[in-house]
Amino acid sequence: MSNLRLIWRKSLNALMLTLTGVAALTVVTVLFLILGYLLYNGGKSLDWAFFTQLPKGEGEDGGGVANAIVGSLKLLAIAGAIGLPVGLLAGVYLAEFGGKTFSFITRYTTDLLNGAPSIVIGLFAYSLAVVPVKHFSALAGGLALAVMVVPITVRSTEEFLRAIPNSLREGAMALGASKWKTIATVVVPAASGGIITGMLLALARVAGETAPLLFTALNNQYWAPGLGQPTASLPVVIYNYAISPYDDWHRQAWAAGLVLLALVLLANIGCRLVINRRGVRSV
């Protein structure tokens, strides 16, 4: 009787442990399937025109997404210009100055903002930057992305600053530097590698965002000079082309998907390797 029970327990053990391994393997396999499928479909659709030409009209074959590539870069530049300084300074506050209660509230709110659905952030940017001027613009899209950049930058900046040993701060202060001088010339430079990595990760994350751009930057078939016009971007192009009925647009959606994923994953792999080498827990 007890022997039977032991056999039961041991086989349950073996079964469940195997299942957990299978589960882990399944998830990793999915990653490689996604990569492989995208590489296959996107790779055979990539051509020179894709990078250099404007889109052709509905249903016409050929053309490219040059304007969307430039548009995406422009949106990222706006998002970075607004979001990164705010994130950096708020992160410095939390790590170097913050008291107890206010810091806790700020940190908590940052996490909540980080978890806010991106489509809602799009609605917010719409009511801030589209409603007053009554037209869609690159600026509105960049603003939406900036709101998403901030919380990621804050948390990574804070974490890397905290990883700097206190002896560095004490050393600088013992030499007579004031607190802000210590921060600006010793602590932040020491953590700069990690901070910049965190910023790149933040930009990589928002580079793939589609939802907040749908009704802020909208889309554009042509070049959009300046910041005040509707602007095409890679993620929105992927979306529009994927749900369209045209085969050639599907082909270009795959190509754009491959380009986007390659950029995002390369940025992620590079950044995470840097972070891991520094022995700091990734965020």
Partner 1 sequence: MSTAATTMERAAPPESGPRALIYRLRHGDEVAHIVTLIFAATILLVTSMMVYELWVQSALTRTKFGWEFFWTRTWDPVFENFGAAPFIYGTLVTSVLSLMIAVPLGLAAAIFLAELAPRKISDTLAFLIDLLAAVPSVIYGLLGIFVVIPLMRTTIGPALKATLGFLPIFKGPNYGVGFLTASIVLAIMIVPYIISVSREVLLTVPRDQREAALGLGATRWESTWKVVVPWARPGVMGSVFLALARALGETMAVTMVIGNTPQIATSLFSSGYTIAAAIANEFAEATGPMHQSALMELGLVLFLITFILNGLARLLIIATERGGGRPS
Distance in Å from the first CA to the final CA of the chain: 51
Strand partners, 63: 55
Secondary structure (H, E, C), 94-117: HHHHCCCHHHHHHHHHHHHHHHCC
For the segment 186-215, give every residue that binds partner 1 (CB under 8 A): 204-205, 207-211, 214-215
Q: Note whether 151 binds partner 1 by CB under 8 A.
A: yes
> Tokens 């393997």 correspond to what residue?
25
Choose one: 49-57, 60-68, 70-78, 176-184; the region binding partner 1 (CB under 8 A): 176-184
Q: Note whether 128 binds partner 1 by CB under 8 A.
A: yes
Q: Note whether 3 binds partner 1 by CB under 8 A.
A: no
Within 10 angstroms of residue 171's Cβ, the number of other Cβ atoms is 13
Q: Note whether 7 binds partner 1 by CB under 8 A.
A: no
For the segment 219-238, give every residue that binds partner 1 (CB under 8 A): 235, 238
Q: Note whether 144 binds partner 1 by CB under 8 A.
A: no
Choose one: 49-57, 58-66, 187-195, 259-267; the region binding partner 1 (CB under 8 A): 259-267
Least distance in angstroms from the C-beta of 247 to partner 1: 12
Among 239, 251, 255, 274, binds partner 1 (CB under 8 A): 239
Q: Note whether 282 binds partner 1 by CB under 8 A.
A: yes
**Residue closer to partner 1, measured from CB, 11 or 52:** 11
Amino acid residing at 262: A
Q: Note whether 39 binds partner 1 by CB under 8 A.
A: no
Among 80, 141, 194, 257, binds partner 1 (CB under 8 A): 257
**Residue closer to partner 1, measured from CB, 222 or 265:** 265
Q: Which of 280, 254, 282 shows the shortest CA–CA distance to 269?
A: 282
Q: Note whether 133 binds partner 1 by CB under 8 A.
A: no
Choose one: 47-55, 60-68, 73-81, 256-264; the region binding partner 1 (CB under 8 A): 256-264
For the segment 45-84, give every residue that binds partner 1 (CB under 8 A): none
Among 98, 193, 228, 270, binds partner 1 (CB under 8 A): 98
**Residue closer to partner 1, measured from CB, 214 or 232:** 214
Q: How far apart are CA 85 and CA 95, in angstroms?
A: 15
Choose one: 7-15, 56-64, 73-81, 186-194; the region binding partner 1 (CB under 8 A): 7-15
Least distance in angstroms from the C-beta of 211 to partner 1: 4
